[in-house]
Structure 1
Amino acid sequence: MVNPATTEFSQLDEGDSVAFMPLEAIWPGSKCDYSRTLPWSPNLSYVQFRRGDVLVPKITPTFEAGRTIVADIPSRVGLASTEVHVVRANEGADPRFLRYTFQSQPFLDEGANSLQGVGNLRRITPRFVQDYRVLDASAEVQAVLCDYLDRETGEIDAIIDRLDGLAEVLRYRAAIVSTRQVCGLFESHDGAQRSVHSPLAGIPEHWGRTKFGYDFTESTERNGDHPPGPLLSISEYRGVELNTRTEGQQASLDVSKYRVVRPGQLAANMMWLNHGGLGVSSLTGYISPDYKAFWISDRFEPRYVHHLFRSSRYIDYFAAIATGVRPNAQRVTKTVLDATPVPLPPRDEQVRIADELDEATARVDAMLTKVADLKALLLERRAALITDVVTGKKEVA
């Protein structure tokens, strides 16, 4: 059954704690988050489900990522995002078999072709899920197939988790090295890094000091009727890059008011500075009108600026000065940014530091690319295995 009634909610008292599954918590394997709860109220508009139901994300691109789960929640019933379909297995059917079927490539391919809606808000319909043909197998055979897939995909998922951990370690170590270099930090004799109280704490005495507003001038150039280049995005991992994503930030039909970015300018997402949402561009293009672009004074080497403001010291500093109610919408205002202290090493030192960090970053990027390639192969293997089993192409003893 798709989106069935969950009568158990009629037995709850208002204020009773129930599990809550927003879309960002719905992931297969170890990424799934069952820790969230909500106090029950009949006025809540979330989707109701019970423990053991199958939750199928219905909106692109979450659907296409195959993020279907069996809801193994701690409470008897739960509430989920309205962007999921609830599927309840019939008596004698194994919900795990439905989950694997909904993660198989034929289901995802057919679903992608049946999405309804426009732009980034297309969804699969409950009718598509209801009518999808599932392999006709007895409960005993389903259990055997699911036990096999649990073992095999569990091993693959464990390797993927280790690869994700390796990628995080690589990024963390790169951030530490970058911070020490661009801020002129050195370890004391006992190996402890000097404590950080401000962006200028512990910098070499011969370095100058300035403020952001003195050396960074906001550019007001807009596209107008003739954009000078393509849409660009600002990645927390890579900085300013060509926007090739099919989800997330997309330009509207009218891009005349979008902000132009030129090579050598600093581009910044003012609501994402505390996550590394800025960088010096090597491209000509345009970014969201909500972002900013800055000309950099001749006193700075642009590559040094790129590494400086993306260092862990400045990310922490931006987090401290940002304001806003929502955790993922902490904005740094232009006035506060202009007052931000900035170290000013001699120009030749900036070039040396930038050269060293460019080389170090290239090495880390190469390792991250290898990790990503291996992860992609494992995910492809996982998807193929699930597809072969749930479609009956692979025999399981």
Structure 2
Amino acid sequence: MRHAFPTRRLRYLADVNPPVPDHVRLDPEAEYRLLPMEAIREFSAPDNGYKRPAKELLSGYSYIEPTDVAYAKVTPCFENGKGLVGADLDEPVFATTEVTVLRPRDGVDQKFLSYVVQSAAFRNPAVSSMTGAGGLKRVSESYIKDLPLPAPSAWMQQQIADFLAHETAEIDALLVGLESMKDLVVERSGAERDACIWSQDQPLIPLRRLIKYVDQGSSPQVMSSPAGPGEVGILKSGCTNFGIFNPEANKAVPTEMKIPEQSFVHEGDLVISRASGSTKHVGSSAVVPSLDRSLALSDKHYRLHGHDDVDVHYLAAVLRSRPFRNELEPYISGAPGLAKNISISSLKAMHVPHLSAEHQREISRRLQKSFEDVQEITCSIDHAIDLARERRAALITAAVTGQIDVTARNKPAAEQLEDDIAQGLHREYA
């Protein structure tokens, strides 16, 4: 990658994983926040984490001060852009050892360094340096120490940091707006679905009366990358999120591993998430579409086989409905910080409307048309979100490498992005 600025190896720009200072070691009872990976976001303020005495954290965790920058080094968290800027902390903290801590040296601006770490100048070679097997690939810290990175003057670093802070904040605000728009569309669609399924005078019956039997898969040791067309994979819990079956949410199975035939899912199967790291994803369901690869249940799923007079698309809609979720959620178990799950006995005890097969099919047809309309709208919003994220990443890379003049009076990036999104939507619906 071309750099308009001079470069220096990272080891001369920052100390990598500096040691815990003596004053922390000498006070083992002092409490510090511990940030697990789940608490770390994409270079924005992290979640709170939880307090632990220093003596429990001095070995096995990373120490981060408010002057530091840290990035997730393990796949897929690195690819997802997880990291933090110490300026978002109000005190020193400890974090998972799956982050690499950078302490800027004299003359290196913390915010500028954080943007460098988010740029393609750092990320592309870092991905190439990853070592390990399966789901445990990590960015090589010995490699990144000697990675040449942009090193403009301290004054220019400040100008770039200020420019990007303003421009990325505008794009982030646009992203928040797009996500809110998508949530509103989905929320309205959900309200229409619930009104279509549930009414005051409908008799209710336990879900078990609609189900013939239930399957559950297993979770063998598999690869971290997904299986592609023509390959074999084990489904991840995220395959059923938001009522849409995502065949990409899987982990490839090594060619020498044999998966029982009865574990594979087929078009028309109803899959429901048994366990997930998030309560809102437990119990999420989707109907399997036509597949171009062989996918098997994991132990994080149930497959529900309804009786012959049960419409599978209707049943999937019931399982996604708010009244059903309201009854289900109190039965979801799991300690803080651990996976949440629902037992099959609890699931079968939930109540659903008792409707004739003809009424189920009528509701299913009506909901399918509404679902397709919502999918078209949310797909357009997703395209806009992807464009905004790509533009944000490209802007950061261009600024830190000196490919744009951040001191010039250019049209704001977010304003240009809004124009591009509007033009794209106009072309799509013209």
**TM bin (shorter chain):** 0.7 to 0.9
Cα deviation 1:243-285 (Å, max 9, x = unaligned): x24xxx4144335247232333322222258524222323465
* Paired AA for residue 303 in structure 2: A
Is residue 145 of structure 1 aligned with residue 160 of structure 2?
Answer: yes
Moved more, 230-239 or 155-164: 230-239
> Within 5 A, what are the aligned runs for 1:236-251?
236-242=241-247, 244-245=248-249, 249-251=250-252
| Count of aligned pairs between the two proteins | 368
Q: Secondary structure at the match of 1:342?
A: strand
Q: Is the 8 A contact 2:33 2:50 kept in 1?
A: yes
Instruction: Establish whether residue 211 from structure 1 lines up as the match of residue 218 from structure 2.
Output: no
Output the TM-score relative to the length of structure 1. 0.84
Aligned to 1:32: 45
Q: 1:166 offset after TM fit, Å? A: 1.6
Q: Is the CA contact (8 Å cut-off) linking 1:265 and 1:296 kept in structure 2?
A: no
Cα offsets for 1:50-103 (capped at 9, x unmatched): 112001110112212333331124443111111100000001210111111111
CA distance in 2, matches of 1:370, 1:21: 35
Structure 1 residue matching 2:151: 3-state secondary structure = coil
**Residues 328 and 268 of structure 1: CA distance in aligned 2, closer, same or farther (over 3 Å):** farther
CA distance in 2, matches of 1:52, 1:168: 36
State the Cα deviation string for residues 19-49 of structure 1 (Å, max 9, x = none): 33322332246x5325334233223221012
Q: Does 1:3 align with 2:17?
A: yes
Residue identity opposite 2:265 in structure 1: V
- Is the Cα contact below 8 Å between 1:57 and 1:85 reproduced in 2? yes
The offset of 1:328, in angstroms, is: 5.6
CA distance in 2, matches of 1:370, 1:328: 35
**Are 1:298 and 2:293 an aligned pair?**
no
Once the two structures are superposed, what CA deviation does each residue of 1:318-371 show, in whole Å capped at 9, x if it has no partner?
Answer: 212233334663322222333332212122222221122111111221111111
Q: 1:102 aligns with which of 94, 100, 117?
A: 117
Distance 1:219 1:333, change over 3 A: closer
Measure, in 2, the Cα distance between the counterparts of 1:256 and 1:85.
37
Cα contact 2:46–2:84 (8 A) shared by 1 = no
% same residue = 24
Q: Distance in 2 between matches of 1:260 and 1:125?
A: 37
1:119 to 134, 149, 153: 134
State the alpha-carbon separation in 2 of the partners of residues 87 and 235 from structure 1.
38
* Structure 1, unaligned runs of 5 or more: 185-201
Match in the other structure for 2:11: none
CA gap 1:60/1:218 in 2 versus in 1, 3 angstroms: same
CA RMSD of superposed structures (Å): 2.6
- Select between 141-150 and 64-73 the one with higher mean Cα deviation: 64-73
Classify 1:37/1:268 alpha carbon distance in 2 versus 1 (closer, same or farther; 3 Å).
closer
The letter of the residue matching 1:339 is: A
C-alpha separation in 2, matches of 1:386 and 1:5: 30
241 and 62 in structure 1: CA distance in 2 versus 1, 3 angstrom threshold: closer
Task: State TM-score, norm by structure 2.
Answer: 0.78
Q: Partners in 2 of 1:12 and 1:236 — Cα distance?
A: 47
Query: What is residue 20 of structure 1 aligned with on the other side?
Result: 34
Residues 25, 13 of structure 1: alpha-carbon distance in 2 compared, 3 angstrom cutoff: same
Is the CA contact (8 Å cut-off) linking 2:232 and 2:252 kept in structure 1? no
C-alpha distance in structure 1 between counterparts of 2:298 and 2:72, whole Å = 31
Does the 8 Å contact 2:34/2:52 carry over to 1? no
**Does the Cα contact within 8 Å between 1:100 and 1:386 map onto a contact in 2?**
yes
Q: In structure 1, how many angstroms separate the alpha carbons of the residues matched to 2:197 and 2:165?
A: 47
Supply the AA of the counterpart residue of 1:256: I
Mark the CA change 1:220 to 1:389 in structure 2 (over 3 Å): closer, same or farther.
closer
Sort the Cα spacing of 1:74 and 1:267 in 2 relative to 1 into closer, same or farther, 3 A: closer
Q: Which residue pairs with 1:197 in the alignment?
A: none
1:52-91 paired onto structure 2 within 5 Å: 52-91=67-106
Task: Tell me whether 1:367 sits opposite 2:338 in the alignment.
Answer: no
Matches of 1:345 and 1:220 in 2, distance apart?
A: 25
Contact (CA 8 Å) 2:269, 2:303: kept in 1 or not? yes
Farther off after superposition, 75-84 or 17-26 = 17-26
1:349 aligns with: 359
Q: How does 1:374-393 map to 2 (within 5 A)?
A: 374-393=384-403
Residues 269 and 292 in structure 1, CA contact (< 8 A), matched pair in contact too: yes
Alpha-carbon shift at residue 156 of structure 1 (Å): 0.8
Q: 1:84 to 1:336 in 2, by over 3 A?
A: same
Counterparts of 1:91 and 1:37 in 2: how far apart (Å)? 32
SS in 2 for 1:88: strand
Cα separation, 2, equivalents of 1:150 and 1:320: 42
After TM superposition, the structure 1 = structure 2 runs for residues 224-243 of structure 1, keeping only pairs within 5 Å, are: 231=233, 232=235, 234-242=239-247
Aligned mates of 1:142, 1:134 — CA distance in 2? 13
The corresponding residue for 1:198 is: none
- Give structure 2 stretches of 5+ with no counterpart: 1-14, 219-229, 408-430
Structure 1 171/328 Cα, relative in aligned 2: closer, same or farther at 3 Å? farther
Instruction: Provide the rounded CA distance (Å) in 2 between the counterparts of 1:43 and 1:208.
Output: 55
Cα deviations across residues 260-312 of structure 1 (Å, max 9, x unaligned)?
A: 32333322222258524222323465433412222211222221111111112
Contact 2:243 2:320 in 1 (8 A): no
Of the structure 1 ranges 332-341 and 230-239, higher mean CA displacement relative to structure 2 is found in: 230-239
- The answer to whether the aligner puts 1:287 opposite 2:291 as a matched pair is no
> Contact conserved, 2:272 with 2:303, CA < 8 A, in 1?
yes
Deviation at 1:391, TM superposition (A): 1.1
Amino acid at match of 1:278: S
Cα drift, residue 230 of structure 1: 5.2
- Over 3 Å counting, the alpha-carbon distance change for 1:322 and 1:34 in structure 2 is closer
More moved, 252-261 vs 386-395: 252-261
Judge which range, 162-171 or 51-60, deviates more: 162-171
User: Does structure 2 conserve the Cα–Cα contact (< 8 Å) formed by 1:259 and 1:293?
Assistant: no
